[in-house]
Amino acid sequence: MSQINVEPSELELEHRLEWLLPQLQSKVDAWVQKLMLPKQMVVGKTFLQDSSSPTLEIEKRGRKYWKIVKIDSNDFGGCSKTVYAFVRKSDGAVLKAADWSKPETRTKSAIRGYITDEWVLDYFTPFGVVYAV
Contact present, 29 and 53 (Cβ < 8 Å): yes
| Tens of pLDDT, residue by residue, the chain (133 residues) | 567 767 888 899 999 999 999 999 999 999 988 877 655 445 555 555 555 789 999 999 889 999 999 998 876 777 889 999 999 999 999 999 999 999 998 888 889 999 999 999 999 999 999 986 5
Query: Which residues are bridge partners to 88 per DSSP?
Result: 65
Please choose, from the candidates 102, 84, 71, 108, the residue with its C-alpha nearest in 3D space to the C-alpha of residue 17.
84
**CA-CA-CA-CA torsion for 90, 95, 100, 101, nearest 10 degrees?**
-30
Whole-model pTM: value is: 0.82
Query: Which sequence spans correspond to the domains of the chain?
Result: 10-33+51-129
Separation between Cα atoms, residue 57 and residue 130, nearest integer Å: 19
Q: Which of 50, 37, 36 is nearest to 78 (CA)?
A: 50
In whole angstroms, give the CA distance from residue 28 to residue 21: 11
